Chain A
Amino acid sequence: MNPDPDNNTPAAAGVVADLAPADPREHIEPNEAQRPMSLWYVTFLCLFFGWGGYYVQRYSADYGALSYDENAGFGGAKTNIVKQVDPYVLGKRLFENVCAKCHQPDGHGVAGQYPPLVGSEWALASGPARMVRIALDGLQGPITVKGAGYNNTMTPHRDALNDQQLAAILTYVRTQKEWGHNASAVAPEEVAGIRNKTKDRAALGSWTAAELLALPDHEPRP
């Protein structure tokens, strides 16, 4: 139809087809040709849909909101939902973040300021009753650890750490192999019990050594 179908080759300078109704070099509006679909193309579509269906099913675990492991496989993810956390590992990490600032990463504290945990009769008592209280609501005033006197304050962690976290930290401190510790582990339930029992303590201020020494090592069963 048109000798020069390209509408955009710039014409000679100054040639402005001012009166032309649209560009006379322009083709009329485009349309679509009707052709049958090829078998190759249909095969290609089927392959992709098949693969997509397989992949979604294979790598979605059980479609659960808490299933993060895509390799768990359908149904298998249910055992994966709650991962058992090793309290010693969790405790070590929390200890380094929370406790080590004063008690030092090696647990020896700072002479005259922060009492040591390594070999401490407070930490290695046969039961955790006093230690849980100190961790929950803090400690103030004079205290004797391993024969040395200290007079400082420890901050409360009642709102900062939950039962599982506190139990993990205390378990770590009581069972630190490098420190030669081999006391009993602390269960989250023990922490929860004492937390509940002493819930009014925060209003009274931190514990003093005298108050704590009046308590038994083991929490009496209610």
Chain B
Amino acid sequence: MSATSPSILQALSPSDTEDVAQRRALLAEIDASCRGTLMLFFGAALVWLLIGTVFALIASWKMHSPDFLADIPWLTFGRVRPAHLNAVVFGFASEAAIAVTLWLICRLCRAPLMHGWVVNIAGVFWNIGVAIGIGGILAGHSTAIEWLEIPGYATPLLFVSYALIAIWGIITFRFRREKHLYVSQWYLLAALFWFPWLYSAAQILLIMEPVRGVVQATVNWWFAHNVLGLWFTPIGIGAIYYFIPKVLGIPVYKYSLSVIGFWSLALFYNWNGMHHLVGGPLPAWLITVSIVASVMMTIPVVTVGLNHHFTMWGSFHKLKDSPVLRFMVFGGMSYTVTSLHGVLLALRSVSEVTHFTHSTIAHAHQGMYAFFTMVMFGAIYYIVPRIIQVEWPSARLISIHFWASAIGIMLYIVPLIIGGTLQGVAMINPDVPFLDPNKYSVVTMTVPYLRVRSVSGFIILVGHLAFATSFIWIVARWIKAARQHQPTPIVSNV
């Protein structure tokens, strides 16, 4: 190739230098290697998201209209609510998390996903496991342990599928071509190790060989809290760490903050959970240590928040044009707010009021939806057009999705935190009766807030339907394009 004639790469992207063009070619190869696997996971995640949303609406409606579907055993509150939780946590959130993690690991390691069919098989079995699990819950076989309701006959399937996926992620990491470990990779890799530890410990101690007494509650809260903090949170933060600087084209603000943010999360999060048992018959030190760990979570939260915020500093006007950035920044800000609110809720004096009220539920949704799910939406909007080489068909649908989700979840969280706190104040006041339709009672005072929650649920559903429409549309275009064109030439060998 002579120096004067442009290479094929330069012909394709004339604005780039040879070096950048080669990197792009590698990225394209990586994207192509992830294509089938990621589309499988994203598609399945979307289906579970819709199913989970419908379950959520049914459960929410029952909270203020208990007669609704009350005569169908399969759809009683005690079954629909865990079905919702497991559909969105193990169906939607975990599958989106796995797909985003695999893609980020491949890209940041500069290594294509090898033998993606193994992960595909694991993905199929994961979905079968979740489907059997949720069917089991609806049939009444729930284990009745929060966050672990999936009956024992489905969990081994989930665990084996997960192990296969995690091992594949780690193998990809082993064959990395990039020496420098970018901050996102620390979080993602740690999450791949943390989740099986949490899940297997909880399965063994609560379902296979159940521990007794207060230890059971301790293990349950440890798992339920840590699955948020050591599985979803690191993947969410890792994704934000990648996408904000990626979209802006600038480096992350401070390497030192990244390091402290990661290690303080690793150090403190695992001690969380027992602060939910304030007032319970637990040794005082166990609750105290958990409270301190919760308060110390301020360090990673503020650190990561500062790092993201100063990376964004001066670029906030770009939120106007970039849907990905919008989802990411919304998620990142929610992470800061929800975590600092969580610090507050962990204090003994606050917990005595807010625990066992709806404000805990609002807090959980702030973490799982306003933070994690929004980040996953942003990541999906970024990744899908790259792996299938098709643009999103409608900017308006993406906009509808963002605003419906953002407004819907705020309408969910804010009133329910206020209502839940008032409910807590009423519950510790001996003069307020528990249920009395004729005066101010604990049950009747929450009803207006619960109605608002149902309304917010419908708004969120609109967002999800817009997302589903976009997704089906882009897949249809992809299939059409694949029929019309020859397969994309492999550019990596050029």
Chain A positions near chain B (C-beta within 8 angstroms): 1-2, 5-11, 13, 15-24, 26-37, 41, 44-45, 48-49, 51-52, 55-56, 59-61, 63-70, 72, 77
- Chain B residues 274 to 311 lying within 8 A of chain A, measured CB to CB, are 281-285, 287-289, 291-292, 295-296, 298-299, 302-303, 306
User: Is the pair B302, A44 in contact by a Cβ cutoff of 8 Å?
Assistant: yes
- Contact among A13, A17, A30, A45 for B245, CB-based, below 8 A: A30
Question: Given A9-B395, A23-B386, A30-B182, A67 and B285 touching (CB < 8 A)?
Answer: yes
Q: Is the interface of B mostly helix, strand, loop or mixed?
A: helix
Q: How far is the CA of A52 from the CA of B289 in the complex (A)?
A: 9
A23 to B385, CA, bound (A): 9
Interface residues in B40-82 (C-beta closer than 8 Å to A): none
| A49 to B298 Cα, complex, angstroms | 11
By a CB distance below 8 angstroms, the chain B residues around A16 are 389-391, 477, 481
Taking CB as reference atom, which chain B residue is nearest A15?
B391
Q: A21-B28, A26-B27 are in contact. List 9 more A-B contacts (CB 8 A).
A: A6-B324, A10-B391, A10-B392, A16-B481, A20-B28, A24-B16, A32-B252, A35-B254, A55-B292
Q: How far is the CB of B349 from chain A (nearest CB, A)?
A: 12
Q: Are B382 and A8 in contact (CB under 8 A)?
A: yes
Contacts of A32 in B (CB 8 A): 182-183, 251-252, 254-255, 258
In the complex the two chains form, what is the Cα distance from A33 to B254 in whole Å? 5
With both chains docked as a complex, state the minimum distance between the C-beta of B494 and any C-beta of chain A, in angstroms: 8
Please determine whether A35 and B256 come into contact, CB atoms closer than 8 angstroms.
yes
Query: How far, in whole Å, are A41 and B258 apart by their CA atoms in the complex?
Result: 13
Residue from A36, A45, A59, A70 within 8 A of B299 (CB atoms)? A45
Complex contacts, A59 vs chain B, CB 8 Å: 284, 288, 291
Q: Which residues of B contact A (CB under 8 A)?
A: 9, 12-13, 15-16, 20-21, 23-25, 27-28, 31, 107-108, 180, 182-183, 241-242, 245-249, 251-258, 260, 281-285, 287-289, 291-292, 295-296, 298-299, 302-303, 306, 318, 321-325, 348, 381-382, 385-386, 389-395, 398, 477, 481, 485, 488-489, 491
Residue of A nearest to B21 (CB): A21
* 10 nearest A-B pairs in the assembled complex, by CB-CB distance: A60-B285, A30-B245, A27-B249, A70-B284, A32-B255, A6-B322, A21-B28, A22-B27, A22-B28, A33-B251
| B246-A48 in contact (CB<8A) | no
Which of these, B183, B258, B284, B491, contacts A69 with CB under 8 Å? B284
Contacts of B481 in A (CB 8 A): 16, 18
